[in-house]
Structure 1
Amino acid sequence: MDQATQTMIDNLHKNTGKSLDEWIETVNSAKLQKHGDILKFLKENHGFSHGFANLVAHKALKSDAGSADDQDALVTKQYVGKENFLPIYEKLKKEIATFGKDVEFIPKNAYVSVKRKKQFAMLVPATKSRYEVGINLKGHPPQGILELECKANAMYSHKVVINHEEQIILELIDWLRKAYDAAG
């Protein structure tokens, strides 16, 4: 388990008086099976922040890399019915890995988090026809292919939507590199 996750688990207990296992039992007792339902339940009924609710939801559903028995299976699951986007994922992963030895690819249930010291990108096969690259570059105005992500609880500040491998252009790699540099 990475240090950031362990710190969150420790702080969860300090802030709520309950351990992660106790919160997972609370979620399981409520018979909640969907990530969004768990987030809503913890936020509305227990005053959780998004970060803590997300942690408990992933752990309860075993949908994060740290809980999954097979991380490759999480990636495979993301691309069922979206196999056309697998070459995009592979190409982006290969390009991003060249940024440095400290790049981590952490599969979740629906996306792959890309981290250095903190998350700087997300690789998301969003729908059968839309692939999103989430990029954390707070304070940068949108320009070129970089769109501003407007959601209040977004896990990234900007996104780039691509549909074909040919759209992985130098501009996208440059934005990812800037986000990587900022995450160090």
Structure 2
Amino acid sequence: MLACFLRIVHSRASLSQDAGSVVAPDPTSTPPDIRSSNNGQDTLLDRIYGKRPALRPIHDVLMQQVARFQPDLRVDFKKSYVCLYRSHLFARLQPTGKTCLDLMLQLRGFEASGRLEDAQGVKPLMTHRIRLRDPIDVDNEVYDWLRQAWALS
């Protein structure tokens, strides 16, 4: 993740409803209300995890794991979930209720076993799901499945 900070103007910046992108403010204006954020990510994550604060630590641990896939990793913040791409979508972080974060993976040709559940018909494009309820659930097994999905994308 980049550590640079942007000044985002509440009255001028707009968050896209679908893409989660941040539109830069007009540099010539002096706005009354200014917020700082990490490329707008904190604002987008607050929108996703604001009512589910217990899931944010799980998200943070997962993002530390996928940061190893740099520079081939692209993170796209949607309205209610986060997509991870290489050349194609390989994973999706989807809150399910207030206590569970579903890690949806695109693993065509793999059999569901153990924590890796079949997700056919649950979400388009995603073939498998791992339910995460605690940051400790993000272990080597989860990392291995993430790495497999990343390698296939």
- TM-score class, shorter-chain normalisation, is 0.7 to 0.9
- Residues 125-144 of structure 1 aligned to structure 2 (within 5 Å): 125-144=95-114
Kindly report the root-mean-square deviation, in angstroms, between the aligned alpha carbons of the 2 structures.
Answer: 1.7
* Bigger strand fraction: 2
SS of the aligned residue for 2:56 comes to helix
Counterpart of 1:114 in structure 2 is 84
Separation of aligned partners in 2, 1:81 and 1:142: 31
> Cα–Cα, structure 1 residues 65 and 154, in superposed 2: closer, same or farther, change >3 Å?
same
How much has 1:152 moved relative to structure 2? 6.5
Deviation string 1:44-64 (CA, Å, 9 cap, x unpaired) is xxxxxxxxxxxxxxxxx7321
Stretches of structure 2 lacking an aligned partner (at least 5 in a row): 1-15, 24-39
Q: Counterpart in 1 of 2:134?
A: 164
The separation in 2 between residues aligned to 1:181 and 1:153, in whole angstroms, is 21
* Residue from 42, 50, 55 that aligns with 1:80: 50
Mind listing any 5+ residue stretches in structure 1 that lack a counterpart?
1-60
**Which residue in the other structure is 2:62 paired with?**
92
Structure 1: how far apart are the matches of 2:45 and 2:94?
10
Aligned to 1:98, the other structure's residue is in SS state: helix
**Of the candidates 124, 146, 151, which is equivalent to residue 176 of structure 1?**
146
TM (norm. structure 1) is 0.62
Contact preservation (8 Å) 2:119, 2:128: yes
Helix, strand or coil at the partner of 2:69: coil
Determine the structure 2 residue equivalent to 1:65: 20
- Of structures 1 and 2, the one with the larger relative CO (CA 8 A, separation 6+) is 2
Is the 2:115–2:130 contact (alpha carbons within 8 Å) kept by the matching residues of 1? yes
Separation in structure 1 between the aligned mates of residue 61 and residue 125 of structure 2, nearest angstrom: 22
Structure 1 residue 154 displacement after superposition: 2.0
Residue 144 (structure 1) shift = 2.2
Task: Tell me the percent identity.
Answer: 25
- Distance 1:122-1:84 versus aligned 2 partners, 3 A rule: same
Q: Structure 2-normalised TM-score?
A: 0.73
Distance across 2 between alignment mates of 1:112 and 1:136: 14
Which structure has more helix as a fraction of its residues? 1
Residues of 1 paired with 2:94 and 2:116: CA distance? 15
In the aligned structure 1, how far is the partner of 2:149 from the partner of 2:93? 14
Tell me by how many angstroms 1:113 deviates: 0.3
Q: CA deviation at 1:79?
A: 0.5
CA deviation vs aligned residue, 1:29-73 (integer Å, no higher than 9, x gap): xxxxxxxxxxxxxxxxxxxxxxxxxxxxxxxx732134x444442
Please state whether the residue corresponding to 1:125 is helix, strand or coil.
strand
